[in-house]
Amino acid sequence: MKSNISFADTSIAFSYKSDEALRKSHLLFSSINNPTLSKLGANIVKIALKLKLPIKGIIRKTVFRHFCGGETIDQCDTTIQKLADYHIKTILDYAAEGDAGEENYELAVLEILRT
């Protein structure tokens, strides 16, 4: 069975983005692609988080916004619908960071099953 999915034409995948959004994405990827900037940025974020500096909003508006559809399934629904309007399919992946223990494991299992 032949798949009708093609990654040859990236204009399809990015047709829903404005020119401004594409410029921001380009800047983000150019920065991430620079090893010096990437390492420096990661270290600055680690230090800022340890010092409890208010940087979560900056992270949310840059890296998070680009790579994540939302923090909950309901929030992701808006992104999923927007992408579907442009015939772009999605896959939900659930990530739980940091918490260990049986209760957190069970919550993670339930959330993965919901996705």
* pTM strictly above 0.85: no
Q: Is the pLDDT of residue 101 over 80?
A: no
Nearest 5°: the CA angle 100, 96, 102 is 30
At 53 the pLDDT is 94
DSSP one-letter string for 53-111: -S-HHHHIIIIIHHH-S-SSHHHHHHHHHHHHHTT----------S--SHHHHHHHHHH
Q: Name the nearest CA neighbour of 69 among 92, 88, 46.
A: 92
Sign of CA dihedral 78, 79, 82, 86: negative
Specify the pLDDT at position 99. Answer: 63
- Both tokens of 9, joined, read 């034409």
pLDDT tens per residue across span 1-46: 666 667 777 777 788 889 998 999 899 999 999 999 999 999 999 9
